[in-house]
Amino acid sequence: MSFTSLGLSEPILKAVAEEGYETPSPVQAKAIPAVLEGRDVMAAAQTGTGKTAGFTLPILERLSHGAPAKPNQVRALILTPTRELAAQVGESVRTYGKHIRLSSTIVFGGVKINPQMMRLRRGADILVATPGRLLDLANQNAVKFDQLEILVLDEADRMLDMGFIHDIRRIIQRLPKVRQNLLFSATFSDDIRKLAKGIINNDPIEFSVTPRNTTATTVTQWICPVDKRQKALVLQQLIEENNWHQVLVFMRTKHGANKLASFLETKNIKAAAIHGNKSQGARTKALADFKAGAVQVLVATDIAARGLDIDQLPQVVNFELPNVPEDYVHRIGRTGRAGATGQAVSLVSADEFKQLSDIENLIHKLLERRFVDGFEPVHDLPASRLNARHRPEPRPKKPHSEHRDGQRSGEAARGHKPAGSKPAGTGRPTGARNKPRRGGPASSGNRTGDARPAPKSR
């Protein structure tokens, strides 16, 4: 299939071609015709699937046929959970819409509101916004929705996780009842279905996709058992000895992220922290520097890292394991994207045994343990075991409208490939050695690729 068969007009096809896209990704092949038809869409698709173009391209097409937005009015509203994602989506709107005459703008919190109010005075055909700031602007009459035709909720699951549910409901109340609704979410949990019920019109098109290039993607995962106090030093050693040039490090806390970035700087490793307490300017700069290679290590909290489009990241490090095991899968999804190989390393101390065990059970796999010479832990990390009750791997399933009463469905399989085959250049780190584990084989299969919790049965 080619883009030309999807019903997009020449100026949009030209922009797509200029981006070098040849074939529509599955989410694009499904979403573009549906949106052009004016249907509501509910899609289980995460970052990396090409979902942004999936909704942006047909929105541009549809809007290009109508009258432009009047002052302070908006014709398509795209809500995103984070500022970074808003900036990225806004950038995509500009890129794909560069040959058509539509206006767009981006608004998010953490920066001055006045310039945003000024920009909105002219009206925007497409507005990309985070919920809190949008409400502030709406409350001050800086943005109005009389002309609104299309609403997009991007990464709806994250918006709920981040507590935006009330803001979203308040925003929806302000919108015209007749409109087209597009909802994109990595998962279709009960909460998402509840939210969707109040937003989506009857008879939406529903589908689920797996991330692009998953078959070509290889992520090597291993853990390094180490005492808590030694983690920063181990990380320094791994970076230096293996010459890791672009590392995304995950921390649980903002304070921890700052502290680690400062520590690495004292060791002459260029590092920056990115989290919710950083000003927007600092976050944007850190990300740009990281992408450009001026910053070698980006230390991020989960929320700050969510949705960042950093392609082909070679190295992800979990400095601490996440409390929610699904976050592990999201985190390692940052690496080995778009057909590249990647390595995901977790520094695990004895007190994180429970988190480790939860993760291993979620992904149905015991993670290989490699010790770093000189940093063998004093506090032993117990051997883990998979629960005997082996849960079946959920198949990517279409989110089904008949199951709105809460049945979980439509989970997209995640884009992580087995650790079984070793990709070139991601071998054992210098100074790290494999140690036979008491808890089972070094690699217990290759099911990480589709690792998701089993669907709840009711």
Per DSSP, helices labelled H in 207-275 are: 231-242, 254-266
- What separation in angstroms does the CA of 153 have from each of 41, 189, 259? 10, 15, 34
Inter-CA distances, 140 with 124, 134, 244, 311, Å: 17, 10, 48, 38
Between 210 and 237, name the residue whose CB sits nearer to ligand AMP: 210
Kindly state whether residue 309 participates in binding ligand AMP, applying the rule CB under 6 A: yes
Q: Does 237 bind ligand AMP (CB under 6 A)?
A: no
How are beta strands 247-251 and 180-185 bridged, if at all?
unpaired
User: Looking at beta carbons only, is 210 or 409 nearer to ligand AMP?
Assistant: 210
Specify the residue, 151 or 308, whose C-beta has the smaller distance to ligand AMP: 308
For ligand AMP, the closer CB: 179 or 291 = 291
Residue 311 CB, nearest approach to ligand AMP (Å)? 6
User: Which among 366, 372, 379 has a CA at the least distance from the CA of 439?
Assistant: 366
Three-state DSSP state, 335? strand
Instruction: Give the DSSP letter of residue 216.
Output: G
Q: Does 311 bind ligand AMP (CB under 6 A)?
A: yes
Cβ 56 to ligand AMP, closest distance in Å?
A: 8
CB-based contacts of 212, cutoff 8 Å, min separation 6: 25, 26, 48, 49, 50, 338, 415
For residues 105 and 137, give the distance between their C-alpha atoms in angstroms, rounded to a whole number. 13
Is 97 a binding residue for ligand AMP by CB under 6 A? The answer is: no
Give 85 or 356: the residue with its C-beta nearer to ligand AMP. Answer: 85
| Beta carbon of residue 88, minimum distance to ligand AMP (angstroms, whole number) | 7
CB of 333: closest distance to ligand AMP in angstroms? 11
- Within 10 angstroms of residue 1's Cβ, the number of other Cβ atoms is 10
Rounded Cα–Cα distance for residues 113 and 109 (Å): 8
Closer residue to ligand AMP, CB minimum distance, 148 or 209:
209
The enclosing H or E element of 400 equals none
Residue of 261, 263, 243, 262 whose CA lies nearest to 251: 261
204 is an interface residue for ligand AMP by CB under 6 A: no
Rg (alpha carbons) of the chain, rounded to whole number: 22
Neighbours of 95 (CB within 10 A): 15
Q: Which is nearer to ligand AMP, 59 or 347 (CB)?
A: 59
Q: Which is nearer to ligand AMP, 35 or 372 (CB)?
A: 35
Min dist. Cβ of residue 47 to ligand AMP (A): 4
Smallest distance from ligand AMP to CB 108, Å: 17
Q: How far is the CB of 304 from ligand AMP (least distance, A)?
A: 16
Give me the least distance between CB of 158 and ligand AMP, in Å please. 13
Q: Output 159 or 271, the one with its CB closest to ligand AMP.
A: 159
Burial class (CB in 10 A: 0-12, 13-18, 19+), 54: buried
**What does DSSP assign to residue 350?**
G
The CA distance from 194 to 214, in Å, is: 30
Taking the least distance from each CB to ligand AMP, the nearer of 47 and 426 is 47
Q: Which CB, 312 or 446, lies closer to ligand AMP?
A: 312
Binding residues for ligand AMP, rule CB under 6 A, total 14
Distance CA(207)–CA(434), nearest Å, equals 42
Q: For residue 168, give the amino acid letter.
A: I
CB of 177 to ligand AMP, least distance (A): 29
DSSP letters spanning 283-330: HHHHHHHHHHTS-SEEEEEHHHHTT---TTB-EEEESS--SSHHHHHH
CB of 94 to ligand AMP, least distance (A): 13
Query: Which of the residues 20 through 79 are near ligand AMP (CB under 6 A)?
Result: 21, 23-25, 28, 47-53
Residues at the interface with ligand AMP (CB under 6 A): 21, 23-25, 28, 47-53, 309, 311
